[in-house]
């Protein structure tokens, strides 16, 4: 039976429409999910929206609607974004669902039964934008002398009765977790920040609020709602049917990867494992904190007027080009910038010229000169074998290994090198010139390229699924062998004896242009 693989994204706050950061994370998780499926794993991919908390309540109040109306309206945009970007999630969790309230309350009861919850009074700083509590020592001062969170967001002094979670009790077990399981927190560059925070000693965490009621009710304490992060993190369990002992819980928990952004690493690598330890539940195998995307080096904000709609970018440049660009341009795990120029540049040079033209030239040549019959191999020479070896190793070994390590940028780099090797082979073998002088050799060269192109399409399919599938359709490779293992099947080298007839291909990646004012 296929080994299960459970991957999640963060659940987004639907207090506005999805932005490029949301698209980035959803696409990255989708690439990993698709790769694992292509590797034969049984994948469950969950995403969703985080609908409670003060931030949502305030936004709804500003708009003069109820929080529920805001959530219903806005979560639809997140679902639409996933569909538009070809994000193949299995479960979309909304935290306002009744089953999620039940799951959060059960987690609470288990933590309470452990003796880890107690009632006290919270006095301290809170950032509504981050939905986070901060110690005085963590704050910075803004230009106007105001206090700011480490993320640069406003904080306010908060005093209220609150339930507390005995986080202090978990400092040692957490340090042991980071030490014994270095793979728990990736990339390694995020370790220090978390270690410093935990080694500094942990204070107990305020886990309920009384000053507003938009949240999950605390069991037995009706005037309290849970701190939004307690309920938000529980979403990863709710989707599996927790607290019921469902087959899904048995099969998929613990999660293989929680893919999240760097700003919420603390919640996922300190609070979440502590809650789970308290409730005697298994810990996720890995939390991967990706970097932030900046618009020409700047954070997007409404006041700067530089907020980009990811769907507008996809409409302009193509879904696959946007997916490719986002995974390719910024080494995954680090921060990076994007701009329309950079998308056009990558799209044209790598997808259009390097890969698209390779496929287009070779396949049209076969369609035209061999009337669609696939070329025969009349004995391989060294150059053919070298290329087949290089592409085969990349696609069947190195590229999947990079995706396994959540290194999509490296996977694409390896893929690009294999594409370049094919282009160099075309240049040296010059099949078009062989048509008159040595038609048999021409066929062998075309056959070699046909095999390589089919393999390359399969190797990059997780990143650009629609384009890769269109190409593989053209080449007569059936859907069920579009896997790394399937590359060994005869479909990738059906060649002369195949009854398949290649039709003239259409270009995969139309040339991108920038409007004059942006060029």
- In the complex, the smallest distance separating the C-beta of residue 134 from ligand ME8, rounded to whole angstroms, is 15
Q: How far apart are CA 461 and CA 473, in angstroms?
A: 12
In total, the chain counts a number of residues equal to 519
User: Residue 103 gets which letter from DSSP?
Assistant: H
- In the complex, the smallest distance separating the C-beta of residue 39 from ligand ME8, rounded to whole angstroms, is 25
Q: How far apart are CA 88 and CA 270, in angstroms?
A: 29
Contact partners, residue 470, CB within 8 Å, separation at least 6: 508
Among 5, 6, 7, 11, binds ligand ME8 (CB under 6 A): 11
Among 90, 138, 248, 263, binds ligand ME8 (CB under 6 A): 263
Query: Shortest CA distance to 78 belongs to which of 132, 133, 23?
Result: 23
Does 509 interact with ligand ME8 (rule: CB under 6 A)? no
Of the pair 10, 314, the CB lying nearest ligand ME8 is at 10
Does 293 interact with ligand ME8 (rule: CB under 6 A)? yes
The residue number whose beta carbon is nearest to ligand ME8 equals 261
- In the complex, the smallest distance separating the C-beta of residue 307 from ligand ME8, rounded to whole angstroms, is 10
Of the pair 54, 260, the CB lying nearest ligand ME8 is at 260
Does 292 interact with ligand ME8 (rule: CB under 6 A)? yes
- In the complex, the smallest distance separating the C-beta of residue 296 from ligand ME8, rounded to whole angstroms, is 13
Tell me what percent of the chain is helix, strand and coil, each rounded to the nearest 5: 55, 15, 30
Contact partners, residue 159, CB within 8 Å, separation at least 6: 121, 122, 123
# chain residues binding ligand ME8, by CB under 6 A:
18
- In the complex, the smallest distance separating the C-beta of residue 22 from ligand ME8, rounded to whole angstroms, is 5
- In the complex, the smallest distance separating the C-beta of residue 191 from ligand ME8, rounded to whole angstroms, is 17
Neighbour count for residue 304 (Cβ, 10 Å): 10
The one segment of 17-25, 179-187, 432-440, 476-484 that binds ligand ME8 by CB under 6 A: 17-25
Does 25 interact with ligand ME8 (rule: CB under 6 A)? yes
Q: How far apart are CA 1 and CA 300, in angstroms?
A: 45
Does 103 interact with ligand ME8 (rule: CB under 6 A)? no
Among 5, 6, 7, 13, binds ligand ME8 (CB under 6 A): 13
The one segment of 7-15, 401-409, 456-464, 466-474 that binds ligand ME8 by CB under 6 A: 7-15
Among 5, 6, 24, 78, binds ligand ME8 (CB under 6 A): 24
Does 239 interact with ligand ME8 (rule: CB under 6 A)? no
Contact partners, residue 127, CB within 8 Å, separation at least 6: 134, 149, 151, 153, 154, 155, 156
Does 232 interact with ligand ME8 (rule: CB under 6 A)? yes
Among 50, 106, 112, 350, binds ligand ME8 (CB under 6 A): 50
Does 12 interact with ligand ME8 (rule: CB under 6 A)? yes
- In the complex, the smallest distance separating the C-beta of residue 270 from ligand ME8, rounded to whole angstroms, is 13
Of the pair 343, 414, the CB lying nearest ligand ME8 is at 343
Does 494 interact with ligand ME8 (rule: CB under 6 A)? no
Does 22 interact with ligand ME8 (rule: CB under 6 A)? yes
Sheet holding 217-218, edge to edge: 208-209, 221-226, 217-218
Query: Which SS3 state, helix, strand or coil, does residue 193 take?
Result: helix
Query: Shortest CA distance to 272 belongs to which of 107, 105, 109, 54?
Result: 107
Of the pair 227, 425, the CB lying nearest ligand ME8 is at 227
Of the pair 24, 126, the CB lying nearest ligand ME8 is at 24
User: Residue 396 gets which letter from DSSP?
Assistant: I
The one segment of 21-29, 159-167, 172-180, 190-198 that binds ligand ME8 by CB under 6 A: 21-29
> DSSP string spanning 430-482?
-HHHHHHH-HHHHHHHHHHHHHHHHHHHHHTTTTSHHHHHHHHHHTT--GGG-
Q: 385: burial class by Cβ within 10 Å (0-12, 13-18, 19+)?
A: exposed
Pairing of strands 221-226, 208-209: antiparallel
Of the pair 25, 350, the CB lying nearest ligand ME8 is at 25
- In the complex, the smallest distance separating the C-beta of residue 50 from ligand ME8, rounded to whole angstroms, is 3
Q: 356: burial class by Cβ within 10 Å (0-12, 13-18, 19+)?
A: buried
Among 7, 10, 207, 512, binds ligand ME8 (CB under 6 A): 10
Does 274 interact with ligand ME8 (rule: CB under 6 A)? no
Return the HEC string of 143-188. Answer: CCCCEECCCCCECEEEEEEEEEECHHHHHHHHHHHHHHCHHHEECH
Give residues in contact with ligand ME8 (CB under 6 A). Answer: 10-13, 21-22, 24-25, 50, 232-233, 235, 260-261, 263-264, 292-293
């Amino acid at each position: 039976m296929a080994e299960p693989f459970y991957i999640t994204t963060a659940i987004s706050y639907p207090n506005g429409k999805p932005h490029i950061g949301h698209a980035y994370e959803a696409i990255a998780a989708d690439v990993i999910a698709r790769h694992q499926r292509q590797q034969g794993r049984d994948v469950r991919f969950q995403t969703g929206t985080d609908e409670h908390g003060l931030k949502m309540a305030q936004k709804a109040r500003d708009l003069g609607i109820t929080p529920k109306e805001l959530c219903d309206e806005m979560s639809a945009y997140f679902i639409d974004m996933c569909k538009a970007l070809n994000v193949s999630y299995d479960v979309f969790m909304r935290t306002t669902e009744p089953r999620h309230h039940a799951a959060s309350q059960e987690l609470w009861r288990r933590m309470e039964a452990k003796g880890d919850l107690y009632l006290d009074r919270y006095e301290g700083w809170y950032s509504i934008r981050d939905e986070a509590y901060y110690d005085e020592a963590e704050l910075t001062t803004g230009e106007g002398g105001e206090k700011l969170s480490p993320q640069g967001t406003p904080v306010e002094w908060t005093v209220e009765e609150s339930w507390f979670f005995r986080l202090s009790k978990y400092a040692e077990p957490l340090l042991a977790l980071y030490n014994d399981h270095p793979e728990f927190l990736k990339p390694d560059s995020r370790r220090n920040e978390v270690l410093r925070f935990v080694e500094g000693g942990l204070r107990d965490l305020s886990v309920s609020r009384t000053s507003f009621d938009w949240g999950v009710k605390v069991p037995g304490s009706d005037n309290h709602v849970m701190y939004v992060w307690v309920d938000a993190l529980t979403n990863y369990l709710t989707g599996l049917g927790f607290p019921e002992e469902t087959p899904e819980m048995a099969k998929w928990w613990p999660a293989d990867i929680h893919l999240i952004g760097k700003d919420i690493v603390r919640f996922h690598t300190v609070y979440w494992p502590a809650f789970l330890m308290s409730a005697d539940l298994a810990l996720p195998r890995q939390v991967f904190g990706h970097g932030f995307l900046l618009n020409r080096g700047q954070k997007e904000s409404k006041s700067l007027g530089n907020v980009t709609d990811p769907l507008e970018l996809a409409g302009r440049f193509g879904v696959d080009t946007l997916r490719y660009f986002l995974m390719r341009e910024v080494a995954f795990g680090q921060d990076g910038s994007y701009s329309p120029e950079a998308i056009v540049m990558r799209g044209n040079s790598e997808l259009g010229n390097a890969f698209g033209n390779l496929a287009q030239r070779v396949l049209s040549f076969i369609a035209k000169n061999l009337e669609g019959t696939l070329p025969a191999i009349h004995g391989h020479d060294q150059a053919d074998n070298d290329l087949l070896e290089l592409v085969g190793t990349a696609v069947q070994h190195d590229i999947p290994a990079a995706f396994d390590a959540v290194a999509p940028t490296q996977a694409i780099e390896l893929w690009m090198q294999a594409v370049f090797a094919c282009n160099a082979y075309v240049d040296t073998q010059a099949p078009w010139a062989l048509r008159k002088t040595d038609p048999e050799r021409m066929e062998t060269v075309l056959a070699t390229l046909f095999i390589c192109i089919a393999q390359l399409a399969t190797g990059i399919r997780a990143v650009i699924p629609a384009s890769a599938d269109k190409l593989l359709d053209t080449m007569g490779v059936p859907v069920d062998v579009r896997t790394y293992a399937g590359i060994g099947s005869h479909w990738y080298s059906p060649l002369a004896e195949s009854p398949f007839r290649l039709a003239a291909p259409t270009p995969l990646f139309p040339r991108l242009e920038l409007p004059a004012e942006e060029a």
